[in-house]
Amino acid sequence: MAHYARGSAVAVIRLCNPPVNALSLAVLQALEDGLKKADADPSVKAVMICGENGKFSAGADIRGFSSPERHGGALGPIVSLIESSEKPVVAAIEGVALGGGLEVALGCHYRIAHMKAQMGLPEVTIGLLPGAEGTQRLPRLIGVPAALDMITTGKHIPATEALKLGLVDEIVEENTIEAAIRLANKVIGQPLGPRRLSLKPIPRLPNMEAFLREALVRVKQQARGWLAPELCFQAVRAAAERPFAAGVRRERELLQVLLTSGQARALQHAFFAERAVRRWAAPSGASWSSAAPQPVRKAAVVGLGTMGRGIVTSLVKANIPLVALEQNLEYLNKGRKAVMLLLEREAMKMEGGAQTLDFHNPARLHFTVDFDLLRDVDLVIEAVFENMALKKEIFHKLSKICKPGALLCTNTSALNIDEIASATSCPQQVIGTHFFSPAHVMRLLEIIRGRHTSPTAIATAMQLAKALKKVGVVVGNCFGFVGNRMMFPYVQQAVFLLEEGSRPEAVDQVLEDFGFKLGPFRMSDLAGLDVGWRSRKDQGLTGPSLPSGTPARQRHGQRYSPLPDLLCEQGRFGQKTGKGWYQYEQAGGRTATPDPWLHSFLSHYRDTHHIKTRFIDQEEILERCLFSLINEGFAILAEGIASGPEHLDVIYINGYGWPKHRGGPMFYASTVGLPRVLAKLQKYSEVHPDVPGLRPSAFLKKLVAAGNPPIKEWMSYLSQQSSKL
Ligand SMILES: CC(C)(COP(=O)(O)OP(=O)(O)OC[C@H]1O[C@@H](n2cnc3c(N)ncnc32)[C@H](O)[C@@H]1OP(=O)(O)O)[C@@H](O)C(=O)NCCC(=O)NCCSC(=O)C[C@@H](O)CCCCCCCCCCCCC(=O)O
């Protein structure tokens, strides 16, 4: 709703729809009514628009988009109505003015903001464009380059920057509403023509054409199949090249394209999925709403390898005092040097911002080899390499040294949390925190609940994720948890495709065209082939513990490809050794080039194993890789390892480079249609009966039999879910 009130000569319209004053149909109607009332009242000389509870508005009500009467479209005429008012209208911006909220403010004749307010046009991030004439007004106000930057990235900008850009007229430290009313009184009677943005000419650039050409290249490069940035660009270009009314018509046409692309729905699914995963629940009945986190006043990180260094950097950035521990001085000094380098780089990125990094002060970051210094920490993150015996030894030590109640986290990508916890006297305080590399950059934190993990421990780990500006997703304990477990069949299919006749660059191309930043082979070269090799040796799948006489391409009666092991045996670990599935300019190089050596190696391998080579088309590559990953997702849901498909989607988008505009793997499956996914899996499984990853999961079959219900209803088909969460 919007509340209308009149005090002296200034009428106040307050947008009111908690928690973020989203512009629902009711709010828009009330806003329109308020404007008309103010217009009709001769004692009203000016209008002030503000939001309830210290927030202007987060824009159109995204939840309403999927309702039959989509109401976002009604906003443009209301913004025009504001602008055409004969009485000055002032926007008082507190908290956020985003999307349609900022478009309302752009319709106003004056904008005044609190200095802590944030503004932006984030429609691009939900697959849309600022379709209430925002693409036409903003460039007229702040110029094409700045408007293009805001509209194609969706970034939020602080009030101080908005003032510099001329987006707001004034910023205030005290009461914004009172300041806005003062301003409204001051401008009564002043001419409004120059304040109407639709009448303003676009600020010209000497080289507008060249600027736009280069900007388009940049936008396209970054978008990789995501349509909205390019269409946002086209709308701003229309503002630069056409009169206002024609630009508005173009904006509408482009919006229609986006609305029918399917990407808006996918990105909005991703938006709500990210919020849904915060509401975790455990089988005991404990949940996000009942369990309180423990405060983390001081933390520790054990192990300063690649992961530990990133985790330390993340904690320092979150301003958490920290002890960083290594097993000996040599490793400690190496780790300290690397951490300092990372922190210097982060500090440089933050230069000029409000926050600074305090990492030279030993009270905030203390490097040590002395376990005794962990006595008073509230939380420890163990980040040594993936070895069960080593992890158990460390956890045994931690449970003796750390104070009662301290949370003990293990950074592992696959190992059994319960087994690690069994080495302690406090398994309720043990939890898995699976960070993704580089840990100070990647947003995902998989939080693994063991059998005994307490609700307080989960709440504290979720709170930690938030403090680190990460997305925490609570999952159950199984080999590989959610992300890596779904990744195994995907990578396995990619390697099988090589055996059958494809090449790394062909497989990668298909998946990169789909929208992944890196295909499976480029990804594997980046992560290091030795990581998986070590794990397979530990599992007895290769190496000295493999029983003699084991068939080269079979393990436990199932198809197995020794290709990655053979590469490792040749010292081809990927980028770090300059050779892997590709060749690189040098060890540590980043530019992957197809490698003739690998091609002839593959030919030789196929000959040795009498594999008949065939041409494999793009469709088969895509379907075998993606559908096997999705199939595993259904098994995970059925086993209760994750509470819903949106958890899997959030994990894949934030940890595995799944293109966000495709909504995550499970959402993608829902758009492909479950009957089609099932039929394809059945077909491939018949051809490859020795590959369990292609055998359709019982849950997928059940959903198809139930008539392909919408994704929101999937979990209701799991009647007797044995939750492992
Ligand atoms: C505002 C935030 C920065 C706040 O962040 P914070 O971390 O503090 O809190 P949360 O993110 O947890 O949010 C709290 C709570 O509020 C919900 N929420 C937030 N924003 C909205 C919103 N705009 N609408 C509805 N609900 C919202 C959020 O979900 C949380 O609740 P939950 O129960 O889930 O916990 C941050 O929230 C944020 O960034 N919000 C999004 C801001 C945004 O993207 N704004 C742009 C909105 S789009 C818009 O304004 C469009 C206009 O340009 C008009 C265009 C006209 C044409 C439109 C055509 C309509 C048809 C569309 C069809 C789409 C596809 C289809 O269905 O087919």
Report whether 681 contacts 700 (CB < 8 A): yes
- Is 619 a residue of the active site? no
What are 90-146's pLDDT values in tens digits? 999 999 999 999 999 999 999 999 999 999 999 999 999 999 999 999 999 999 999
What are 371-405's pLDDT values in tens digits? 999 999 999 999 998 899 999 999 999 999 999 99
- Through-space distance between the first and last CA atoms of the chain, rounded to whole angstroms: 40
Atom of ligand 1 nearest to the CA of 55: 1
Q: Which residue has the higher pLDDT, 353 or 502?
A: 502
DSSP-assigned states of every residue in 611-634: PPP----HHHHHHHHHHHHHHHHH
Q: Given 52, 83, 94, 123, which residue is catalytic?
A: 123
Tell me the two tokens of residue 263: 């990407």
- HEC letters along 1-65: CEEEEEECCEEEEEECCCCCCCECHHHHHHHHHHHHHHHHCCCCCEEEEEEHHHCCECCECHHHH
In whole angstroms, what is the distance from residue 423 CA to residue 443 CA?
A: 30
What's the ipTM? 0.95
What are 629-670's pLDDT values in tens digits? 999 999 999 999 999 999 999 999 999 999 999 999 999 999
Kindly list the structural domains of the chain, giving each domain's residue range(s) and its CATH number in brackets, ordered by start. 2-259 (3.90.226.10), 299-475 (3.40.50.720), 482-501+614-725 (1.10.1040.10), 520-608 (1.10.1040.10)
- What is residue 69's predicted lDDT score, i.e. its pLDDT? 60
Looking at the DSSP bridge assignments, the partners of residue 606 are none
Atom of ligand 1 nearest to the CA of 264: 65
Collect all residues with Cβ–Cβ distance below 8 Å to 609 and sequence separation of at least 6.
499, 552, 553
Report whether 658 contacts 226 (CB < 8 A): no
Phi, psi (rounded to 5 degrees) for 113: -130, 150
- What is residue 5's predicted lDDT score, i.e. its pLDDT? 74
Q: Given 103, 133, 382, 623, which residue is catalytic?
A: 103
- What is residue 64's predicted lDDT score, i.e. its pLDDT? 83
Q: Which residue has the least CA distance to atom 62 on ligand 1?
A: 65
pTM for this predicted structure: 0.94
Atom of ligand 1 nearest to the CA of 71: 60
Q: How confident is the model at residue 723 (pLDDT cuts 50, 70, 90)?
A: low
Pocket of ligand 1 (CB under 6 A): 19-20, 22, 58-63, 65-66, 70, 72-73, 75, 96, 98-100, 103, 122-123, 126, 128, 130-132, 134, 255, 259, 264-265, 272, 275
Mutate to test the pocket of ligand 1, among 62, 69, 471 (most ligand atoms within 8 A of CB): 62
Mutate to test the pocket of ligand 1, among 20, 75, 126 (most ligand atoms within 8 A of CB): 20
Q: Which residue has the least CA distance to atom 60 on ligand 1?
A: 72
- What is residue 284's predicted lDDT score, i.e. its pLDDT? 78
In whole angstroms, what is the distance from residue 117 CA to residue 443 CA?
A: 24
What are 409-439's pLDDT values in tens digits? 999 998 999 999 999 999 999 999 999 999 9
- What is residue 234's predicted lDDT score, i.e. its pLDDT? 98
pLDDT of 725 over the 60 cut? no
Helix (H, G, I), strand (E, B) or coil at 593: strand
For range 12-19, the mean pLDDT: 97
DSSP-assigned states of every residue in 213-226: HHHHHHHHHHHTT-
Collect all residues with Cβ–Cβ distance below 8 Å to 315 and sequence separation of at least 6.
299, 301, 322, 468
In whole angstroms, what is the distance from residue 347 CA to residue 685 CA?
A: 52
- HEC letters along 695-722: CCCHHHHHHHHCCCCCHHHHHHHCCCCC
Average pLDDT, the chain: 95
- Is 123 a residue of the active site? yes
**Strand positions, DSSP E, 336-470:** 365-368, 379-382, 407-410, 430-435, 444-449
Tell me the two tokens of residue 397: 């030590």
pLDDT of 249 over the 70 cut? yes
> Measured in whole angstroms, how far is the alpha carbon of residue 246 from the centre of its chain?
36
Taking the centre of ligand 1 as the mean of its atom positions, its distance from the CA of residue 60, in whole angstroms, is: 7
- What is residue 721's predicted lDDT score, i.e. its pLDDT? 52
% pLDDT > 90, the chain:
91
